[in-house]
Structure 1
Amino acid sequence: MTEAGRHSRHAAARRRSRVWPAVLSLLLVAGAVGGGLALHRSSHSGDRTDPVAGAPSVDQAARSAAVDAILKRRSQAVLTGDEQAFLADIDRSDRRFVTKQRTLFANLRQFGFASIAYQQLAQQYDDSIAQKYGPSTYLIAVAMTYQIRDIDVVPVRAMLGYTFTQRADGAWMLVSDSDLDKRLPRGSHQEAWDFGPVTVKRAQRALVVVEQGQATLANKLVAMSVSAVHAVTKNWPGGWNGAGVVIALDDKIVRGADYTQPKNAEDALAMATWGYRTLPGEVTGAGERTDSYVVLNPNNRAKVDARTLAHEFTHVATAPYGPYAPRWLVEGAATYVEFLPMSGQKDLAITQYRLDVQRKYLAKAKGLPTDDTFLDQADRSYPLSWLALDYLFTRFGGVEVGTLYRELAALGSTQKERDRIMLEHVGMTEAGLFRALKAAAAA
């Protein structure tokens, strides 16, 4: 595998070589709850006056019960395909909102949910929104818990913000589902069904989402996804029985992926974005993670191939292990699987590539890529990470590498813990591994 020309930070060479992966790391920009948003469920005990200027006294328990009933009707409507029930409690005078809700319902129906539910969290307060909708305005953070059939291993939680007002007859109605968007935590919001009309295509252990009318792209991505799923299942230690979700929309901010950022927009091909078992702020500040979905960069969609998806699906396979594995291990493992022989893909010149990385990158390096500087020095970080995993797999075998990954991801939150785990499993620290790479190159 030889270098063929200059490559941008995440651009893939598709000539004779593949210098380093065409992807960003498993990425989420949602470490904290945005805007101080409180997530715990509010307590409703008796009548109180809401702290909104001019608001009348409200029976909060009755209001909460009414909103719970609306949320239950909407979730059941998605499962049963009842559009009228889904739209029953919205503001019918707002034609634009009605159209948006029809699109949302049509999108949700395509995903094939095994379960879906909406839960009120804490009431929010915004004077400008109260002024817009009137004194009965009820702005609430809502958790959406869902499980896509044959895709999600466990239920996934996302966050929404709903605005309700009370009609003249006393009934409550939904008037907006976007007033809290800017305050919701990144990565647990803006799912694939929240944008314009989409088309969802399925295959065994794969699901692809594209803009409506892009069936050709969907079929192409489904074929790539199936190939990539098989590759990760075959090559990841212990196998993998999960599924791959690929989101290829024109929108530049979807889930945790943000392709409006200049470096991402230019260089990245895809990002694997975390899903949540518990939301940021519910149990831990960062949330408890589960599966992840892959979001393609709309600017570079044509450059994505099955190997790109194999890289990303390796991130998907390892996402449930935990967030603490060093980045060189996370990216090195995904690149290692990406570069292995793959059905339908030309084999890569690994022996030559190993020599090239030793000569061009390892010779000048002073250590393994660090978490803080990994992406700033991506041109060398990715190949050096691949080299480290190539060495570990060759010397210790897949079972030991897989176990090492699991423990580092679950427990490696400090350098002391990382060193302890590395010594236990491979008899060397990260610094020792770098020295071993140097010695192997010299030999």
Structure 2
Amino acid sequence: MTAAFGALAVVSLGLMVFGIARAVSDDPLPVAGEGGQAIEITQDDMSSLLKGHSEALTGGDKDAYLAPFKGSSAQLKAKQSSLFSNLRKVPFSVSEYQFLKIDGRAVDHYGAGASASVDVAFVHQVKGADAGPVAEWYRWTVEKKTKDADPQVTAVGPATPELAGFGEMTNYPAPWDAYDEMAVTVKPHTVILSDAAQAADARRYAPYIEKAAQDNLATWKAKGPKSGRTMPGFVVTLEKNRKVYKQMYRQGTRDEGDESIAEAGVSIQMPAVSAGGNQAKVDMENGGARIVMDTAESRFTRPDYAAGVLEISHHELAHTLVEPLTGPDGQAQLWVVEGFAEYMAMRDDPKAAARELRGLKAYYGGRFVDPFDGKLPTSDNFHSTIDEENSAHYSLGWLGIRFIAEKYGEDKALAFVAEQYKTPKGMDAQLRKATGMGMNEFQDAWADYVRKQIS
């Protein structure tokens, strides 16, 4: 699922969700027995708590925000206090907590108090960056000691992967959860998050990330199709601690513990959800994506780091740019996904393009005895545990998009990418529209083009 060319990769996490409403059970919550003496944690309790929690966040009322945690441990209260402060630094256009579902002993008839696990969505949209509202999913442990007491939250963590409708991802922890003190650097097209201890590095890299954002947005505006939504901006987290980096947005997933993942950057899909009490089906699959980049990687640490930061930023921001185009039928072919991102990274960087071609020539002319077979890499075999093979697949995808752009025009190449994101199974028709050739004829022509590049 993940791979690296020069330790550069994207995670595509297949999260197809139409709205928060899909996670709410139609079954009624348990009710009290006769006599009305039961201690209950009800949906009304949670809806009221979360309404107040949302209003406290948007209104900047820290005491009210922390009220549901007043009976919890000092450690949890301190963590929620830092979370409030971190969230207040982010330019949200939407920020609200929604109740999803409840599990556990929500009703107690014996006076011991009720306790339940409650799944909660933090629905948010970063102003100027997200195409629509997205969500992070928590599981709270909630207790109620007496019938008339307010519910209290005693533990907070990621929702379980079994949360209906959301696949294996909970998008937890976001940087505002991971950092005791978060720094936010806002540029016209980028919102850059980091640990406060790494704020100076973030400010140093921010101009180059913003430049990549401007370049990608301008290219798509000038040459991309006029229909279909793309991202207006980008949310980027910079992190040099590899353990923290690998957990960001994906704690508890197989990627977090996979030591074979050598990526230097990642773009993580964020499914679109409904907000503001509107439970209607949302009109796009992904409302945004979150980029995380490893600033301990050589692109950030070498003396000419500006070129390295621009290269990785062009790549990862390209992935994010087109996420709102994703259709309901799954992921585009990976040679298109990664080829497009590499094309954007190399588009205005002839040195990087020459370096990539040298790597491809070395692959086919070096110790790998299998000659170039003239076939585009398939999604099933695109990501390899062999670094050189992995790199070659990225390069072949790049040459696929570059071939279309050079021979038929950049507008045709970008329109092809957009159509492939919308309808992954329409490859043959999409190629005919872009090049006049079906898949087999295109592959033969592309193979001749590649052979000329590596001869």
TM range (shorter): 0.7 to 0.9
| Contact 1:291-1:319 within 8 A present in 2 as well | yes
Worse-matched range after superposition: 397-406 or 239-248: 239-248
Residue by residue over 1:362-404, the C-alpha shift from the partner in whole angstroms, topping out at 9 and shown as x without a partner, is 9513410110111113121011111111101011112222221
> Matched residue pairs, number?
397
Matches within 5 A, 1:327-366: 327-341=334-348, 347-348=350-351, 350=353, 354=357, 357=360, 360-361=363-364, 364-366=372-374
Matches within 5 A, 1:122-141: 122-125=101-104, 135-141=113-119
Q: Is 1:172 the equivalent of 2:172?
A: no
Taking a change above 3 Å as real, the CA distance of residues 440 and 178 of structure 1, as seen in their structure-2 partners, is closer
The CA distance in 2 between the partners of 1:295 and 1:31, in whole Å, is 21
> Offset at 1:99?
0.6
The CA distance in 1 between the partners of 2:296 and 2:260, in whole Å, is 12
Q: Is 1:404 the equivalent of 2:405?
A: no
Matches within 5 A, 1:23-62: 23-28=8-13, 39-44=23-28, 47-48=31-32, 57=38
| Contact 2:416-2:434 within 8 A present in 1 as well | yes
Q: Identify the residue that residue 264 of structure 2 maps to in structure 1.
A: 269
Query: In structure 1, which of residues 245, 248, 254 is the aligned counterpart of residue 248 of structure 2?
Result: 254
Query: In structure 1, which of residues 272, 283, 295 is the aligned counterpart of residue 292 of structure 2?
Result: 295
Q: Identify the residue that residue 432 of structure 1 maps to in structure 2.
A: 441
The CA distance in 2 between the partners of 1:297 and 1:355, in whole Å, is 25
Q: Identify the residue that residue 196 of structure 1 maps to in structure 2.
A: 179
> Offset at 1:77?
1.5
Q: Identify the residue that residue 45 of structure 2 maps to in structure 1.
A: 66
The CA distance in 1 between the partners of 2:265 and 2:359, in whole Å, is 25
Taking a change above 3 Å as real, the CA distance of residues 385 and 124 of structure 1, as seen in their structure-2 partners, is same
Q: Identify the residue that residue 5 of structure 1 maps to in structure 2.
A: none
Worse-matched range after superposition: 233-242 or 428-437: 233-242
- Give the 3-state SS of the residue equivalent to 2:351 in structure 1: coil
Taking a change above 3 Å as real, the CA distance of residues 42 and 327 of structure 1, as seen in their structure-2 partners, is same
- Give the 3-state SS of the residue equivalent to 1:213 in structure 2: helix
Taking a change above 3 Å as real, the CA distance of residues 43 and 119 of structure 1, as seen in their structure-2 partners, is farther
Identity of aligned residues (%): 19
Taking a change above 3 Å as real, the CA distance of residues 116 and 171 of structure 1, as seen in their structure-2 partners, is same
Matches within 5 A, 1:52-131: 57=38, 63-125=42-104
Taking a change above 3 Å as real, the CA distance of residues 390 and 39 of structure 1, as seen in their structure-2 partners, is same
- Give the 3-state SS of the residue equivalent to 1:262 in structure 2: coil
Taking a change above 3 Å as real, the CA distance of residues 320 and 180 of structure 1, as seen in their structure-2 partners, is closer
Residue by residue over 1:68-97, the C-alpha shift from the partner in whole angstroms, topping out at 9 and shown as x without a partner, is 121111111111211101011214351111
CA-based RMSD: 3.3
> Offset at 1:424?
3.3
The CA distance in 1 between the partners of 2:258 and 2:358, in whole Å, is 34
The CA distance in 1 between the partners of 2:257 and 2:231, in whole Å, is 33
Query: In structure 1, which of residues 198, 209, 234 is the aligned counterpart of residue 218 of structure 2?
Result: 234
- Give the 3-state SS of the residue equivalent to 1:114 in structure 2: strand
> Offset at 1:206?
0.7
Query: In structure 2, which of residues 384, 387, 391 is the aligned counterpart of residue 379 of structure 1?
Result: 391
The CA distance in 1 between the partners of 2:322 and 2:159, in whole Å, is 32
Taking a change above 3 Å as real, the CA distance of residues 74 and 388 of structure 1, as seen in their structure-2 partners, is same
Q: Is 1:245 the equivalent of 2:242?
A: no
> Offset at 1:259?
5.1
Query: In structure 2, which of residues 288, 309, 313 is the aligned counterpart of residue 305 of structure 1?
Result: 309
Taking a change above 3 Å as real, the CA distance of residues 352 and 269 of structure 1, as seen in their structure-2 partners, is closer
Taking a change above 3 Å as real, the CA distance of residues 187 and 405 of structure 1, as seen in their structure-2 partners, is farther
AA of the residue aligned to 1:348: K
AA of the residue aligned to 1:335: E
Residue by residue over 1:414-441, the C-alpha shift from the partner in whole angstroms, topping out at 9 and shown as x without a partner, is 3xx3223322332233333221023335
Task: Give the gaps of 5 or more residues in structure 2.
Answer: 302-307, 366-370
Q: Identify the residue that residue 16 of structure 1 maps to in structure 2.
A: none
Structure 2 length-normalised TM: 0.77
| Contact 1:205-1:242 within 8 A present in 2 as well | yes
Taking a change above 3 Å as real, the CA distance of residues 144 and 440 of structure 1, as seen in their structure-2 partners, is same
Residue by residue over 1:91-144, the C-alpha shift from the partner in whole angstroms, topping out at 9 and shown as x without a partner, is 4351111111101111111112222111111222489xx9xxx65012111122
AA of the residue aligned to 2:9: L
Task: Give the gaps of 5 or more residues in structure 1.
Answer: 1-8, 13-21, 33-37, 50-55
- Give the 3-state SS of the residue equivalent to 2:197 in structure 1: coil
> Offset at 1:66?
2.1
